[in-house]
Structure 1
Amino acid sequence: MPHIPLDENLPGITGLLNYRQDTALPIRQLTQILLRGESTLTEAERELIATVVSQGNECKFCTAAHTAAADVLLGERETAEKVKHDPDNAPVSQKMKYLLEIARRTQSDARTVSTELVADARDAGATDLEIHDTVLIAGLFCLYNKYVDGLASVTPTEPAFYDRLANILKTSGYMPSANRYASLNTTT
């Protein structure tokens, strides 16, 4: 049960962002830029970063939501699972493996993002902007994970909920709109 009154039809981060829309707007804008804005990283790759950070923070809602978003963007379900559970054998580029390690280290203890790891990412083709955005996405999702879990927001258990949310994120991104979450109603 959430620690504050939230719309019961808007679980996870959706209810929290709806609760305080003035603080939600800049967070949403940053998320939209980082996950859906122009980048040399694909939207799916950026969702994978959000996934591994959320998993590292053990945030069930965000892990499920961003795994589903990565899956829908990739058109398959293997990559996100491998990235979470067997990153060395995940079907992603070496550059992406280094960026995901940078994200993991940022999540667990940002001071462990070493010069050597950054050099390895660069040697594998990562640009300074990709490295920057990886760290910023990781930091942003640490905020989201702690926001969701710190206020004990509702975490649905049915995969269909996350599939619906992933399709909203794929088609509409992260900015608010009228009836944005109508298809998330957990009572239907």
Structure 2
Amino acid sequence: MQLKTSFFLVLLGLSLILAAQLKVKIKVDPKIEKLKAETKQLAEVHADFSPSCFSYYSPILSGITDQYEAEYGVCVSNYDNATAAINTQWQAQREAMQNSIYNSCNSLQSCNNANSSLTAFECIANTSAEDSKIFYGISSNATDAAAKIKDQYNVAESQQTICINNAETVYVTQTTSTYEELNSCLKNGYV
């Protein structure tokens, strides 16, 4: 009975170690959950095989988790790098627009320095008319740039989604296969 309990604790420890190692969120796969439950039952029934089976398969499962974590990290890093590159690509145009806005506002502000109300209003009327053309161009260019940036972000996000999906597929496939092998070991008593 004590041997059975100790192997159950080893199994529980393995689950906790794998869960603690996995710092990224992965979809729960029903087949893996079913295999884990089967592993728990088999470990209790075949306690005499448990030590050798777990000592062999635990590092494999841990390696699969480490691989998934690394691949997931690459996906996130690639996305971060892509969005940073997009921001850098558009930085000069953004600064040019900001300068145009600043210059237009400053030209209107200079109208406040007029000596008379008439001169001030004439300055404001003329400057505003000219600035309205500038602001229309800024608005048009900003709308166009925003649409292009949104497309670039969508591409980066799609690439990240595909990358994460591929990493998850490998993780689920390898984990499933390894749990099947572990359960076979627990049933049959050999690695």
Confirm or deny a common fold (TM above 0.5): no
Could you say which structure has the greater relative contact order, defined with CA pairs below 8 angstroms and 6 or more residues apart? 2
TM-score normalised by the chain length of structure 1: 0.23
